[in-house]
Amino acid sequence: MQKRLEIGQIINTFGIKGEVKVFPLTDNINRFDDLEKVYIKAKKDSKLYYIESIKYHKNMVLIKFKDINTVEQAELLRNSYIEIDREQAIPLKEGEYFIADLIGLDVYTDEDKLIGKVDDIYNTGANDIYVVKDELGKQTLLPGIKDVIKKVDLNEGKIFVHLIPGLI
């Protein structure tokens, strides 16, 4: 399991005083209110930043970091990801998982046939879509609904699914 979780991506600067506009990668946008510090990951490097203020604007998070005081300094953070330590994460309910923990898990049918590995998960609004790739790179898209996703076993590194008719 990863030590840190991504909760947002810096997509742009905002204003002239060093604020950044963040696209949230979390179900609860207000979770930023409780943060005092975050890591900003650019390429392979992560650096600790302290938060000075948080605001919200059109489903985006506006963050002012301490010691980032100009638009030029903020510009250097563009396209970086905001990460938190796993201990700072909001506790999950039963049956909920962090996407970072699901990526790379083997996906098996309920007949124990390997379909591939979870390559990505994205949200359509109605439900998540699991992108599963086999060893040849063929993608299978599975809806993240209870009728399809039957069991997630993080310890074994496996997800068991039921392929309803017409799905593949």
What are the structural domain ranges in the chain? Answer: 4-87, 99-158
**Cα dist from 112 to 107, 108, 116, 132, whole Å:** 9, 5, 12, 15
Fold of domain 99-158: SH3 type barrels. (2.30.30)
| Residue-by-residue DSSP string for the chain | --SEEEEEEEEEEETTTTEEEEEE-SS-GGGGGG-SEEEEEETTEEEEEEEEEEEEETTEEEEEETT--SHHHHHTTTT-EEEEEGGGSPPPPTT---HHHHTT-EEEETT--EEEEEEEEEE-SSSEEEEEE-TT--EEEEE-STTTEEEEETTTTEEEE---TT--
- Domain 4-87: which CATH number of 3.20.20.140, 2.40.30.60, 3.40.50.300, 3.40.50.150: 2.40.30.60
- In tens, the pLDDT along 18-57 reads 999 999 998 888 989 989 999 999 878 899 999 999 999 9
Q: Matching CATH topology for 4-87 and 99-158?
A: no
Q: What is the pLDDT of residue 94?
A: 85
Q: Is the pLDDT of residue 1 over 80?
A: no
- In tens, the pLDDT along 115-166 reads 999 999 988 878 899 999 999 999 999 999 999 999 999 999 999 999 988 7
Q: What is the pLDDT of residue 105?
A: 96
- In tens, the pLDDT along 89-99 reads 888 888 889 88
